[in-house]
Structure 1
Amino acid sequence: MKSDGRGTIRENVQAAAKSGLKAVGITDHGPRGIGIGVENLSVYRESAAEAGKLEEEFQIRVLIGAEANVTGTDGKLDIPPELAGRLDLLVAGLHPFVLPDRGSEALTWLLPNQFARVSRFARERLRSGNTKAQAEAVRKNPVDIVSHPNLMLAVDLDELARVCARYGTAMEINTGHKYDKEEIVTAALRHGTPISVNSDAHTPSGVGRLGEGEALLERLNFPMEQVFNTRSDFPAGKFRRV
């Protein structure tokens, strides 16, 4: 499979167990990322089969999921519904380099977002469309976590937080990237939205590095009961092997 990460599933699970984690999520990118992502959807089923063996060996919960790409302003993902509902974990986010479902959206949505990365005017102008795309993805799919909101494509965090709160979806604090994470936490506080603190580890050495996120939540007095990572169990029928 193609991936922007390094290390085998075994190496990452071993690193998670060594760092003292009780669970670790393996969530490779969906297939429509340009240059990264799985080559076909069977990768997730193969990973799930391996996960069962590793759980027994390392005594740690191994969640097999996907970081789906939002591929249209209608909220469509590159993980089909029949698979999305069966994964242990469905993460979904906006990424600048994806193959959209409609060619017109490459011209009216994704390509303009490339200019937005260097133009504040363009960034603000595209914020509404980006917010709609991410919010519709949450409304229409069983999304557990919105990946790195506001990192790559600008969104209205308050609007996204409202939608996520309604559907029980967590917004991610990604400790693997440098960007304004405090504004995500404060938006979540205003709307009662869950937060997930993730390392976004792309190598085994990065697994379990959550300290920055933990410190941020403590400083802003974010309630621990709203932190996705602190859950000791998962909704029945939601997180199961594919």
Structure 2
Amino acid sequence: MNIIADTHTHTSASTHAYSSLSEVVHAAALKGLYAVAITDHGEAMPGSPQPWYFHNMHVIPRILEGVIVLRGQECNVLDYEGHIDLRQDDEPVMDWIVASMHTPTMPKGPHTVEDITRAWLAVARDPRVHVIGHSGSDQYVFDYERVIPEFGKNGKLVELNESSFINRPSFIPNCARILSLCKKYGVPVILNTDSHFATLVGDFSHSLALLEQMNFPEELVVNSSIWRFNEYLRAHTHVLEEPIFNEFAGGKNGSH
């Protein structure tokens, strides 16, 4: 399986990441990726970019080094009602929203399975969100059987997060359970690195190994082909409607 896009990456605008936007895009180009999303942390996360960072992302060229650049944000789920920290005045600029739960931005708890289930069900209904970020957290366990089908019904992509294998190995049994339910219910997934340093961009080795072990169907992996990824972009974003893609269409924007 060939993964053609990395849609969860961080730059040094998030102060616990260490590469510039240009370095992230260059790394994506070196890996031969079709697209990369820049998704620095939303404002509730300590060390997140100052507000104008997201508002001004429209200045970033849509294509750099032959790679489509999606202007995005990893938004924080803030409460059990599923609110996220996406500023209203940033919404028109954003192409791509990952919603994730993080300890510094969630209620201190203790959390019940029902609390987290309620939060994710609300996020599933939020039309601004594209990707459900690293939901295999052992701190935020939810009713997988109940929620995973709702992600699918609402056009959400369930992320398999490469960084979890390295930094959060306790998440992996939950990730496998979530993947098994995505397979059962036909819910699409997306492989992402959640990279905080440029050399990690586009390295999905652990994620691919787990998919192979589970005999996970390639047709449910949205970023396993340009065609699948473009179909999602067309259905859920306005990116490919931009005039620049009239020229780009004859190259990478084909039906691979």
TM-score range, shorter chain: 0.7 to 0.9
Match of 2:101 in 1: 94
Change (3 A) 1:85 1:23: same
Deviation sequence 1:151-206 (CA, Å, 0-9, x none)? 14222222221110111111111111222221121021122111111111100011
Q: How does 1:165-180 map to 2 (within 5 A)?
A: 165-177=152-164, 178=169, 179-180=171-172
Partner of 1:140: helix, strand, or coil? coil
Counterparts of 2:96 and 2:148 in 1: how far apart (Å)?
A: 19
Q: How many equivalent pairs are there? A: 215
User: What is the aligned-residue RMSD (CA, Å)?
Assistant: 2.1
1:69 to 76, 91, 101: 76
Normalising by the residue count of structure 1, what TM-score does the alignment of the two structures yield? 0.81
Whether contact under 8 Å (1:162, 1:191) holds in the other structure is: yes
Match of 1:140 in 2: 126
Deviation sequence 1:81-119 (CA, Å, 0-9, x none)? 563465221110111111x6xxxxxxxxx2124xxxxxx
Partner of 1:111: helix, strand, or coil? coil
Q: How does 1:39-58 map to 2 (within 5 A)?
A: 39-40=50-51, 42-52=52-62, 55-56=63-64, 58=65
Q: How does 1:1-242 map to 2 (within 5 A)?
A: 1-33=13-45, 35-40=46-51, 42-52=52-62, 55-56=63-64, 58-81=65-88, 83-84=90-91, 86-98=93-105, 110-113=107-110, 126-151=112-137, 152-177=139-164, 178=169, 179-180=171-172, 181-230=175-224, 231-233=228-230, 234-235=233-234, 238-240=237-239
Normalising by the residue count of structure 2, what TM-score does the alignment of the two structures yield? 0.77
Structure 1: runs of 5 or more not aligned:
101-109, 114-124
The 10-residue stretch of structure 1 (184-193 or 21-30) with the greater mean CA deviation from structure 2? 184-193
Counterparts of 1:167 and 1:86 in 2: how far apart (Å)?
A: 22
Partner of 1:196: helix, strand, or coil? strand
**What is the deviation of 1:218?**
2.3
Structure 2: runs of 5 or more not aligned:
1-12, 241-256
Counterparts of 2:87 and 2:123 in 1: how far apart (Å)?
A: 12
